[in-house]
Structure 1
């Protein structure tokens, strides 16, 4: 049953990303320096493979969070949200910031991507703690 829990949690985080980046597409593309064609869409495009790999990476995060939650005894919805929020804000976002700092990328990009990591991990934490 744990694999189903992880799959649903990863799907929830992935779906949040679709909404989040759908709303923040313009500022994210500007901050990330994405080149766009005349239609306004990224020149490089996004393939089904990109989304498939993205989902697999969500599975990795959700699976590791499930493992950590089990070891830590996190089982209530509130604790799951708080722990997930903490993972996103205090583990993933600083790593994004570090990478962007050395790459000379704008702080706005870190805020956008770190915001998604934080919210997605909170949602993943919620879903993991509901099963």
Structure 2
């Protein structure tokens, strides 16, 4: 891990997070909210699971955990780059591959079993693939 560019890891995760802010608010927030049933009123609406009230995670905790997961994705990408020393072109191909060939099928499997709408899958898979490409670009830029 000594050769990992930790600045690129952190800034990449921050860019990934900021992309999510835009993706799930300005760009596709309306469609995403309709498909998930998650909106501004969700915090005040009672929700149940199996007849029992469900406890909702506070927004700050969700955001901290999202950033932590994106940091792990960026660290994994940074570690692969450090171990293989690929060209910038190869870095971008690897980053796209992470999103399109690893993360997208993984959420696709879950969405199929959960019977979630295809449009929701497209929004979320698009975010993950775009986010990993952004990670690759940040890692290339800070090489």
* Gapped regions of structure 1 (runs ≥ 5): none
Partner residue, 2:130? 119
Partner residue, 1:64? 76
Query: How many aligned residue pairs are there?
Result: 125
Structure possessing the higher radius of gyration over alpha carbons: 2
Say which of 18, 35, 55 aligns to 1:31. 35
Say which of 78, 88, 101 aligns to 2:112. 101
Does 1:12 find its partner at 2:11? no
Q: CA RMSD in A?
A: 1.7
Verify the 8 A CA contact 1:75 1:130 in the aligned structure 2: no
Q: CA deviation at 1:42?
A: 4.5
Higher relative contact order (CA 8 A, sep 6+): 2
* Gapped regions of structure 2 (runs ≥ 5): 44-55
TM-score (normalised: structure 1): 0.86
TM-score (normalised: structure 2): 0.79
Does 1:53 find its partner at 2:54? no
Runs (4+) off by over 4 Å: none
| Alignment partners' CA distance in 2, 1:69 and 1:42 | 43
